[in-house]
Amino acid sequence: MPLVPMRTMLDHAAENDYGIAALNVNNMEQIQAIMMAAEETDSPVIIQASRGARKYTNDAYLRHLMLAAVELYPKIPIVMHLDHGNSAETCFSAIEQGFTSVMMDGSLSEDGKVPSSYEYNAEVTKKVAQAAHAAGVSVEGEIGALGGIEDGHGAGLSEEEAQEHLTDPAQAEQFVADTGVDALAVAIGTSHGAYKFKKKPTGDVLKMSLIEEIHKRLPNTHLVMHGSSSVPQELQDIINQYGGDIKQTYGVPVEEIQRGIKHGVRKINVDTDSRLAITGAIRKVFAESPEQFDPRKYLTPAREAMKQVCIARMTAFGQAGNAGKIKPNTCKEMVSFYK
């Protein structure tokens, strides 16, 4: 089947009360890890690329790798999603490159660093939604702002600043009415990267109750949780055991995400956990077999480690077992849906 629009997949998830991991990729091994996990668990998948990923891979490589996944796994519905588009132009170029879903992140200004005004966000997101929907492409917007984009080092909001830009439920309702987005990313206290919380988060910093409030106001909007890596202790330990330096940190517990899924969360963004898994596996080979210099010797265990993360999330979020149940369609077929 061809790449599918995200709307179709999220609608199915909503009808059947499950969530879908949106997994970031930057290279072939990460795409392979996701697809191997998807096949093993019969999961529909959202594969997403950030602006940084597009720059690193080059759109042509990325597009062809995604088409290879489609060819190799005809029974798995696959969404190709732009993560954190910073401008309408970025979203439009992704659509030209065959992305079936785009995120217009107008919560920050175009440089991705400072929170923008509501008016700017609503205007640019509406512009993208109108153009994308005319092509049947799905759109995610964001209201409220998260911390730590591009790993929290030198860009984005700090953890403390992020707590000041949580989503206002009334504004979220207004934003969906003003823009017509298919999915809405909300800020509930998570941030991007490994350093989210200094201790296991409780409800005062990870505000799952906000999700419940927003869902009550927007029962038909698919909610998205960004910064939702769980940063498992064992992955931190492996990296540190083999010469790494990850300071003790805490992510978003999987059971909190499961609570979110009960209240309208349909897309859960996970990147850091894959990065940690890959890095730990590579460090282990380098430390234990310093004589090795064949990239396959360390990229194979790296891919396997990411695959295990993907299987765990696909199972925990409930997308496992659903690939075959989705009636796939194309962006072209979605055009009339938005008219």
Three-state DSSP state, 217? helix
Rounded to a whole number of angstroms, the minimum distance from the CB of residue 170 to Zn ion is: 23
Q: Is residue 83 within the footprint of ligand 13P (CB under 6 A)?
A: yes
Strands 20-24 and 78-85: unpaired
Three-state DSSP state, 95? helix
Which residue numbers are catalytic?
83
Q: Is residue 81 within the footprint of Zn ion (CB under 5 A)?
A: no
Tell me which of 40, 42, 59, 150 binds ligand G3H, using CB under 6 A. 150
Is the backbone of residue 136 left (phi > 0), alpha (psi -120 to 50) or beta?
left
- Between 20 and 49, how does the x/- string for binding to ligand G3H read (CB under 6 A)? ----x-------------------------
Q: Is residue 271 within the footprint of ligand G3H (CB under 6 A)?
A: yes
Rounded to a whole number of angstroms, the minimum distance from the CB of residue 250 to ligand G3H is: 17
Residue found under tokens 């940063």: 231
Tell me which of 1, 28, 52, 258 binds ligand G3H, using CB under 6 A. 52
Rounded to a whole number of angstroms, the minimum distance from the CB of residue 50 to ligand G3H is: 4
Give 276 or 299: the residue with its C-beta nearer to Zn ion: 276
Q: Which of 94, 12, 106 is nearest to 57 (CA)?
A: 94
Q: Is residue 12 within the footprint of ligand 13P (CB under 6 A)?
A: no
Which one of 126-134, 154-162, 220-228, 317-325 is the stretch in contact with Zn ion (CB under 5 A)?
A: 220-228
Within 174-203, the residues that bind ligand G3H by CB under 6 A are 192
Of all residues in the shown chain, the one whose CB is closest to Zn ion is 226
Distance CA 176, CA 264 (A): 15
Q: Would you tell me how many other CB atoms lie within 10 Å of the CB of residue 200?
A: 9
Structural contact between residues 98 and 80, judged by C-beta atoms closer than 8 angstroms:
yes
Q: Is residue 132 within the footprint of ligand G3H (CB under 6 A)?
A: no
Distance CA 67, CA 80 (A): 10
Within 186-205, the residues that bind ligand 13P by CB under 6 A are 192-193
Rounded to a whole number of angstroms, the minimum distance from the CB of residue 26 to ligand G3H is: 7
DSSP secondary structure letters along 24-76: E-SSHHHHHHHHHHHHHHT--EEEEE-HHHHHHH-HHHHHHHHHHHHHH-TTS
Q: Is residue 167 within the footprint of ligand 13P (CB under 6 A)?
A: no
Give 91 or 338: the residue with its C-beta nearer to ligand 13P: 91
Q: Is residue 272 within the footprint of ligand 13P (CB under 6 A)?
A: yes
Tell me which of 222, 226, 275, 284 binds Zn ion, using CB under 5 A. 226
How far does CA 218 lie from the centroid of its chain?
21
Q: Which residues pair with 195 in a beta bridge?
A: none
Q: Is residue 51 within the footprint of Zn ion (CB under 5 A)?
A: no
Query: CA of 254: how far to CAs of 50, 132, 187, 211, in Å?
Result: 23, 32, 17, 15
Q: Quick one: what does residue 232 bind among Zn ion, ligand 13P, ligand G3H, none, with the CB cut-off 5 to 8 Å set by partner type?
A: none
Q: Could you tell me the two tokens for 311?
A: 């299987």
313-330 burial, b at 16+ Cβ within 10 Å, e below that, comes to bbbbbbbbebbeebebbe
- Using CB under 6 A, count the residues that bind ligand G3H: 11
Q: Would you tell me how many other CB atoms lie within 10 Å of the CB of residue 42?
A: 16
Rounded to a whole number of angstroms, the minimum distance from the CB of residue 187 to ligand G3H is: 13
Q: Is residue 310 within the footprint of ligand 13P (CB under 6 A)?
A: no
Residues that bind ligand G3H (CB under 6 A): 24, 50, 52-53, 83-84, 149-151, 192, 271
Residues that bind ligand 13P (CB under 6 A): 24, 83-84, 192-193, 226-229, 269-272
